[in-house]
Structure 1
Amino acid sequence: MAATSAAVESAAARIEDMLNKSRAVDTGVKMEVNERILASCTDLMQAIKVLVLSSKDLQRDIVESGRGAASMKEFYVKNSRWTEGLISASKAVGWGATVMVDAADLVVQGKGKYEELMVCSHEIAASTAQLVAASKVKADKDNANLGRLKLASKGVTQATAGVVASTKSGKSQIQEKDTMDFSSMTLTQIKRQEMDSQVSVLELETKLQKERERLGELRKKHYELAGVAEGWGEEDEGTG
């Protein structure tokens, strides 16, 4: 959890730095888009901070209620698979925050892909859901801190949706500058462009289908490694 907190704090500081740089060099639509995207990223970092704090409190409750006469270290050793799953999910949230800020940095510089920023946001939401699932395995369903963690998770989900929305609208605004003007083209030129466009559509559709199949296989392997190897959805042997 400490590593995740550090990653989120670092990401938040970088976002603030990017915002200041953008204000210094960008104007008009570009500055407006960058400010909106970075503001939504800041909101997400704040939501993740709340999530991490809630997770820490719940983890402490779980250890205290489950260890009995054992030491904290002994509890973690006895429940090693659960501990690994929790740590993995927590690290994934911190990693997602770092990668998202990298993507945002490139976008505000005009060198990155808006789609990458959106994918990073979805990954953070997925990692957050995994963190809650890992925590629920050992938590008392009536635990107040579990309720706070679930609420914090919803906050992260809403914030990731905010990043996606600001990124989509920002991309739309930037691309509006490049309006398609065919008024000066002849009939022959229009026909040639139309054929080229049809070829591109077919190529992209084929590529999209192949990439969807690849994504499906990657997700299958991810769930296999994360779910089975780390035991998110099951109790450890020898524990109640």
Structure 2
Amino acid sequence: MVQTAYFWPLDGPRQDLRPRGADVQKEELADMVDKEMAATSSAIEDAVLRMDEILSQARRDSSGVKLEVNQSIIGSCSDLMKAIHMLVTSATDLQRDIVESGRGAGSVKDFYAKNSCWTEGLISASKAVGWGATQMLESADKVVTDRGKYEELIVCSHEIAASTAQLVAASKVKADRGNKKLQTLQQASRHVNDMAAVVVSSTKSGQMQIENKNSMDFSSMSLIKLKTEEMDSQVKVLELEKQLENERIRLGELRKKHYKMGGIPMDSPPESEMSLSPGCMKKKPSDNNVHYSEAQHIFILLSRVSKSTCML
């Protein structure tokens, strides 16, 4: 029986989500593998071509430091896309090798149906890689056209590295350790991780160059303009301080909820747990007005979780 699983489509997260469950026949499951692997490969090929178009647009619309930064970032993103394409190709080759060596006298469709959990894991991992590539493409386009944030590219790089690990893990489950195609896949995975790190590095460096150029060049400002900028900067500092204060309050409420769901009182933990906590008060609290440090609450939470685990 095929287990139920949910997948993200390539065209965006959480769109048209539907279960792939017991109603999926073994013929459909086998076709789904080939379809999703091919779709992922095609999406990445399109992304590579689109990256070249984005780079051409950047050369037309920008100059100076901005052009230098765009070329560096888009170039690293394009190299990452090519590395991902090699990864998917290697995963496809390994997957076919696994099926051919493992199906015996049975058909390919029988093998996929018999190993439905592995099959669905492979499909899910392939979708994750394809989705990460398309998100990287969209983020790069937005950054070049000043509609996006550099942080989006960094997040996409981390997501791609994670989905790459997922694809390798799903592919190697049924592969022999000495399989040469598995070794090729692992090498491709390392190359993807290296290229993702280059994207992060070039993005951070480019962001710093742009921010320094935009915010620290005061040479052409008049006295009035300098004073105006100074006041604007003070306003921004106050706004950011207020945002930070609000976020700290929100974090505190989240932690309170976390403690409450874990069954941990915020103000009077059991005496036995207090004695284990480093830096705790030696005296037993006489009222409910005693509050403990963040480190103590975390220690108490971990102690509770550890005890609960041991009882299972």
1:132 aligns with 2:168: yes
Equivalent position of 1:198 in the other structure: 241
1:174 aligns with 2:217: no
Equivalent position of 2:302 in the other structure: none
Equivalent position of 1:84 in the other structure: 120
Unaligned runs of 5+ in 2: 1-36, 219-224, 256-312
Unaligned runs of 5+ in 1: 213-240
Letter in 1 for 2:148: G
Secondary structure of 1:3 counterpart: helix
Separation in structure 1 between the aligned mates of residue 252 and residue 138 of structure 2, nearest angstrom: 28
Change (3 A) 1:30 1:204: farther
- Structure 1 residue 74: Cα displacement: 1.0
Separation in structure 1 between the aligned mates of residue 254 and residue 199 of structure 2, nearest angstrom: 24
- Structure 1 residue 205: Cα displacement: 4.4
Larger radius of gyration: 2
- Structure 1 residue 198: Cα displacement: 3.3
Change (3 A) 1:171 1:209: farther
Where is the helix percentage greater, Structure 1 or Structure 2? 1
Superposed counterparts of 1:1-240, under 5 Å? 1-176=37-212, 177-179=214-216, 184=227, 197-206=240-249
Secondary structure of 1:140 counterpart: coil
Change (3 A) 1:52 1:165: same
Structure 1 runs (4+) deviating above 2 angstroms are 179-185, 188-212
Separation in structure 1 between the aligned mates of residue 252 and residue 217 of structure 2, nearest angstrom: 27
- Structure 1 residue 25: Cα displacement: 1.5
Separation in structure 1 between the aligned mates of residue 232 and residue 116 of structure 2, nearest angstrom: 67
Letter in 1 for 2:245: L
Secondary structure of 1:106 counterpart: helix
Secondary structure of 1:150 counterpart: helix
1:125-146 Cα shifts (integer Å, max 9, x gaps): 1000000111121110110111
Letter in 2 for 1:154: R
Separation in structure 2 between the aligned mates of residue 39 and residue 128 of structure 1, nearest angstrom: 20
Q: TM-score, normalization: structure 2?
A: 0.62
Separation in structure 1 between the aligned mates of residue 119 and residue 47 of structure 2, nearest angstrom: 25
Separation in structure 1 between the aligned mates of residue 210 and residue 143 of structure 2, nearest angstrom: 11
Change (3 A) 1:140 1:106: same
Change (3 A) 1:190 1:162: closer
Aligned-residue CA RMSD in angstroms? 2.7
Which range moves more in the overlay, 155-164 or 203-212? 203-212
- Structure 1 residue 183: Cα displacement: 7.0
Secondary structure of 2:215 counterpart: coil
Q: Structure with the greater relative contact order (CA < 8 A, sep ≥ 6): 1 or 2?
A: 1
Letter in 2 for 1:179: M
Separation in structure 1 between the aligned mates of residue 88 and residue 77 of structure 2, nearest angstrom: 17
Secondary structure of 1:129 counterpart: helix
- Structure 1 residue 194: Cα displacement: 6.0
Letter in 1 for 2:142: L
Aligned residue-pair number = 211
Secondary structure of 1:18 counterpart: helix
Separation in structure 1 between the aligned mates of residue 70 and residue 123 of structure 2, nearest angstrom: 33
